[in-house]
Amino acid sequence: MWQPNKLEKERVEKVERLEAQGVEAFPRRVQRTHTCAAAIAAYEALEPTDSEAAQGIEVTVCGRIRRANLKGKIAFLHIEDESGRVQLMLRVNDMDEASFALIGEKLVDNDDFVQASGTMMRTKAGEVSVHAREFRLLAKSLSPLPVIKQQTLDDGTVVEHGEFTDVESRYRQRYADLAVNADVRDVFRKRARILKAVRNFFDDEGFLEVETPILQPLYGGAAARPFITHHNQLDQDLFLRISFELYLKRLLVGGYDAVYELGRDFRNEGVSFKHNTEFTMLEFYKAYIDYHEVARLTERFVAAAAMEANGTLQINYQGKAIDFTPPWKRITMREAIREACGIDYMDYPEAAALEAVIRAKKIEVKPGLPWGKLVEHLLGEAVEPNLIQPTFIMDYPRQISPFAKRVDYDDTHVERWEMYMAGMEMANAFTELNDPRDQEARFLDMAKVFREGDDDEVPLDEDYLRAMRYGMPPNGGFGMGMDRLVMLLTNQRSIRDVLLYPHLRHEK
RNA sequence: GGCCCUGUAGCUCAGUGGCAGAGCACCCGCCUUUUAAGCGGAGUGUCGUAGGUUCGAAUCCUACCAGGGUCACCA
């Protein structure tokens, strides 16, 4: 139940006064001939050659009042639409009584949406403005937005005075955050462009964009705990997907050579600056390529997204220079770990011995982890934070990679890489396992290593094996959290700043 | 879940045991080319919530709520 504060009560009273005068505070009909930016552009285009004609340009503009300078019998308002801001000059002599009454009786406030008609002009102070003849209210704002004043310095830079920075309020009331923070609006425009660039890339490469179930009777394709929900009529528990992998690879059995999906994954685990409960994943699978070719595709599509976002392959992310120019560094996991901490994990084929030597290097580790998890932990502790430039870490332990083909040089590793940037894990790819007998053995191996209820539990998916037995072409597959890519390309420190509505606790 | 920090006006913040404060916003008055407009007047409040200590609590203590950071967990 809304409990209006003093400021809000004042605005409600203004609405009541307007309505008592027969003025609609929320009228149905609106007119607009120009956006704010278009009105200014039309004037500036004509002014140098024919300033008289420029002064005659008739416009009707709409927007939200962002600054009001009421000077008695003249008023200057800045209104803002998505294109930008334009100033209105409202002079009592030049307007009908009803239009100016809104100003004179202070019935409009900052944040109201208004419409103004008049001719373009340049004020004595030099600002291109709409010299308003008619002025009307389009929508009253009952709750004031946070006040941010802008000052344009001589060199043209805009300084903002007053801020809206409280993170909880900004995330819970994203609408208010967006309404007052233009740079936040820009982040989400750029996010849209990045995702569109990714789609365009894969469309142009001949991939088919598909949609697979979000509600799944069995989850899989990644090591994560799922959310569980329930279908009432069927009396069936369902999982929210943790990956798209197994459904997408079934499509290769079906005869599509290359598919991708850009959609939401859900993982029931902790949140952090780089984890949100639900996040946007890109996965693609392509027949007749291996993980080396997947890496080359990755370099190309990330570069395309970077160009679309910033027009350059060199970015600054939180003070770190990052260069997306292909080719990126490739190094085996074994070599990367040996370089970073001097441990050759192949010297310690038993988990207990590997755990002991990790501890001897003063790296903390949870006791009793399986061998493959120890290797992964070592990578995360010793190597990952230093992987600033885009880097492919090649050849992962088979024990923690149930969907990747073995390498040809030993039985311990598989053809899998993970790609890192800015010290963050960004992507994961394999030469996909397509031998149903091997796949079944991997499922059974996983069941031995990870018990039911473990975070890493990989349930055996009989239908996936059935699909694979019809014959699956050799293929390379890929998955990447797109939010993290957007973080890099928009220079945002937290995943919450690239999600319009990040996950928060219940509001009390 | 552990630990640390934070919560005071619409916004951003100061106040750390003795009258609840500042800037901007809002309100009243003046102002017909302003632009962080200006001048004059007015402080608008559940000091996150509930207890406790104290003559006296925004301030100290406890619990809780919310947020952030970090660790654990985890693409």
CATH number for the domain harbouring residue A92: 2.40.50.140
Pairing relationship of beta strands A258-266 and A208-209 according to DSSP bridges: parallel
CA distance A63 to A111: 9
Same domain, A30 and A105: yes
Which of residues 218 to 237 on A have a Cβ less than 7 angstroms from any strand B atom? Answer: 222-224
Q: How far apart are CA A253 and CA A243, in angstroms?
A: 18
Tally of structural domains, chain A? 4
Pick left, alpha or beta for residue A435 (phi over 0 → left; psi -120 to 50 → alpha; otherwise beta).
beta
Residues A194 and A298 in one domain: yes
A window 287-346: Cβ near strand B (< 7 A): none
- What is the C-alpha to C-alpha distance for residues A110 and A147, in angstroms, rounded to an integer? 9
Across all strands, nucleotide nearest A396 (CA–C1'): B75
Question: Does the residue A396 lie in any domain?
Answer: no
Same domain, A135 and A175: no
CATH number of the domain that residue A318 is part of: 3.30.930.10
What interface predicted TM-score (ipTM) does this complex get? 0.89
Q: Which nucleotide is nearest to A162 (CA to C1')?
A: B12
Are A273 and A316 contained in the same domain? Answer: yes
> Which pair of structure tokens corresponds to residue A286?
């392509």
Residues A43 and A175 in one domain: no
- Same domain? For A321 and A189 the reply is yes
Chain A 444..473 CB hits on strand B (< 7 A): 455-456
Neighbours of A466 (CB within 10 A): 12
Residue A91 domain flag: yes
A315 and A335 inside one domain? no
Query: What are the pLDDT tens digits along chain A (508 aa)?
Result: 787 888 898 999 999 999 999 999 999 999 999 999 999 999 999 999 999 999 999 999 999 999 999 999 999 999 999 999 999 999 999 998 889 999 998 999 999 999 999 999 999 999 999 999 999 999 999 999 988 888 888 777 888 887 888 888 898 889 999 999 988 999 999 999 999 999 999 999 999 999 999 999 988 888 888 888 889 999 999 999 999 999 999 999 999 999 999 999 999 887 888 899 899 999 999 999 999 999 999 999 999 999 999 999 999 998 889 999 999 999 999 999 999 989 999 999 999 999 999 988 888 888 888 899 999 999 998 899 889 999 999 999 999 999 999 999 999 999 999 999 999 999 999 999 999 999 999 999 888 877 666 667 788 899 999 999 999 999 999 999 999 999 999 999 899 999 999 988 765 4
- Shared domain for A54 and A130, answered yes or no, is yes
- Does A315 lie in the same domain as A274? yes
Specify if A366 maps to a domain: yes
CA of A5 to C1' of B56 (A): 31
Tell me which residue range forms the domain holding A164: 148-180
Structure tokens at A395: 């050849």
A322/A191 same-domain check: yes
CA distances from A192 to A181, A197, A279, A316 (A): 18, 9, 15, 20
DSSP letter, residue A381: I
Estimate the share of chain A in helix, then strand, then coil, as percent rounded to the nearest 5.
Answer: 35, 25, 35
Nearest to A398 by CA among A441, A353, A335: A441
A10: CB within 7 A of chain B nucleic strand:
yes
- On whether both A201 and A54 belong to a single domain, the answer is no
